[in-house]
Amino acid sequence: MRALLVVTGLALWACSTAAPRAHAPRRVRHDVEAVSGLGLFRDERERARALLAAALERQGVAVAPAEVEQAWALAAEGRHPLTGQVCGRPLVRDEARRRWAASVGVEASVSASVFCEADGGCELSVYGHPLHDEGESVRLVAPIARDGSPLVALEEALAHVAAPPPSEGRGGLGVGGLGSRGVQREDRLRVVASPADRRRRADAPEPPLTGLSLEQVSACLGAGDEVASLLVEVRDGLVSRCEGSEDEAASVAGCACALLARARLSDGLAAGRWRLSLQRTRSDSMTLDGALVLRGSWRKHLERHQAPGAKRPTFRPKVEHPSLEDWKTPPAPLTGACFAGAFHTAGDLATRWAVWFDTRGRPARIVEQKRYPPLPPAVAACVARSLELAQAPCPARGDLWAMADFTIEARDPSAPAKPLFRASPSAADGGVTGW
């Protein structure tokens, strides 16, 4: 019934806007995302999205109709957003928009975030941008109260949003960075907590909770995910409410929240709302016979695209049809395990694979490509089995292909670093030699 309502609503909306008056200015429809930085649960996020949409309309910014939000909900369940049929893997909002924006008439997106200075005030920042580098951006700001109810503070701030002066920036707000990882010899579980409402001044203890095992969390995550992102409310030393973040799969969130009911919270975890991240730090390398270390990674092909009028090019995955751009490769450690017996000396190896998907986004055919020397049969069969875990969004049609390279490196941790060269398999023992 919900799918029928979505289809009917979209059809009526399309019919009502198919022939605008000649003198009416064209208004780009914006997909209104959730408000971040306030630690809102699902029902509160919907209220916040409605408040943001109303404020944008007052500013003359067109927003997408409610049927589009229902279409994204279907895509998040692994369903076709227009028909409701099961098709493809579940898509988070960004992925669903990339796949289906043209079908539902969305041309831009807009979001709002809260940023706070460490010892100063807080700012609500609203930013909208076109999806295809064509059109104008939206930028609105307003101060937001540091205390009080998040929704009340948001509504008051949205009543005063305005475009900032051209030279105004956020200064030190929103600073981020990139880190590096060393070689890890085993999987580990790490739990990280941070205040869900950025207006709060609170520090989380390390660790924020105990009593969870890597095996329990891994059972929730499955083969393809590394992190479960949760929003929890703590009262009287207990988790009183738990949900997944907006982009978290419902099955993962439900399983992880059930685990928290048996966990022990640290004494220093104050009452309030927290974002919890249950992270499985997976090995990106493995030790072979105490001598060699393997490290593998998947890399999807990228193609250069230069849109008319765009200032700079973009790079997108090379696939037979754009509907497959957000396909997922299997976990690299899983594929890397296929090479455990293939290396006898240090070196590296690259192999290329093509995957054809059926009409529901499941692998239908997996073929090793001829760009690189062929793998030993046993290794190739193992890699092909790992690719059976690849997932695609709902394809435009069946029998569409996507391509990716897997690179595996074997090195001696005690040897000095040196350039590595592609190898050829040995005909004598099926191993990789001739570096």
Task: Give every CB contact of residue 298 below 8 A, 6+ residues apart in sequence.
Answer: 329, 330, 332, 335, 404, 405, 406
From CA 417, how far away is CA 420, in angstroms rounded? 9
Alpha carbon separation from 304 to 68, 257, 370, 393 (Å, rounded):
30, 42, 23, 22
From CA 404, how far away is CA 341, in angstroms rounded? 23
Give the per-residue pLDDT at 188: 79
Above pLDDT 90, what percent of the chain? 41
| Beta strand spans in 101-146 (E) | 108-116, 122-130, 138-144
Tell me: pLDDT of 247 over 90: no
Any idea where the domains of the chain sit in the sequence? 2-12+26-158, 188-281, 285-433
Give per-residue pLDDT as tens, 134-176: 667 888 999 999 989 999 999 999 999 998 876 444 332 222 2
pLDDT tier at 5, thresholds 50, 70, 90:
very low
pLDDT average, residue stretch 346-367: 92
Vertex 363 angle, CA 285 and 369, to 5°: 65
Residue with the larger pLDDT of the pair 69 and 410? 69
Task: Give every CB contact of residue 225 below 8 A, 6+ residues apart in sequence.
Answer: 249, 252, 280
Q: What is the DSSP letter of 416?
A: P
Backbone angles phi, psi at 117, to 5 degrees: -75, 150
Where helices occur in 261-401 by DSSP H, the ranges are 332-336, 377-387
Lowest mean pLDDT among 22-26, 107-111, 384-388: 22-26
Instruction: Tell me the three state secondary structure of residue 106.
Output: coil
Instruction: Tell me the three state secondary structure of residue 395.
Output: coil
From CA 8, how far away is CA 407, in angstroms rounded? 47
Give the per-residue pLDDT at 81: 93
pLDDT tier at 291, thresholds 50, 70, 90:
low
Give the per-residue pLDDT at 421: 37
- Taking 3-state DSSP, the helix, strand and coil percentages for the chain, each rounded to the nearest 5, stand at 25, 30, 45
From CA 52, how far away is CA 39, in angstroms rounded? 16
Residue with the larger pLDDT of the pair 13 and 264? 264
What would the two tokens of residue 27 be?
């208004």
Give per-residue pLDDT as tens, 197-229: 989 888 888 888 888 888 888 888 876 667 889
CB atoms near residue 63 (< 10 Å)? 22
pLDDT tier at 125, thresholds 50, 70, 90:
very high
CB atoms near residue 13 (< 10 Å)? 18
Q: Which of 308-312, 373-377, 430-434 ranks highest by mean pLDDT?
A: 373-377
Give the per-residue pLDDT at 346: 76
pLDDT average, residue stretch 33-55: 93
Tell me: pLDDT of 123 over 90: yes
The rounded mean pLDDT for the chain is 79
Lowest mean pLDDT among 103-112, 183-192, 235-244, 412-421: 412-421
pLDDT average, residue stretch 272-292: 70
What would the two tokens of residue 429 be?
């023992």
Give per-residue pLDDT as tens, 77-93: 999 999 999 999 999 88
Give the per-residue pLDDT at 134: 60
User: What end-to-end distance do the CA atoms of the chain give, in Å?
Assistant: 61
CB 358 within 8 Å of CB 398: yes
Give the per-residue pLDDT at 413: 67
Q: Residue written as tokens 């249950």?
A: 278
Residue with the larger pLDDT of the pair 432 and 290? 290
Give the per-residue pLDDT at 426: 34
pLDDT tier at 312, thresholds 50, 70, 90:
confident
Does the 2-12+26-158 domain belong in CATH 3.40.50?
A: yes
From CA 355, how far away is CA 335, in angstroms rounded? 15
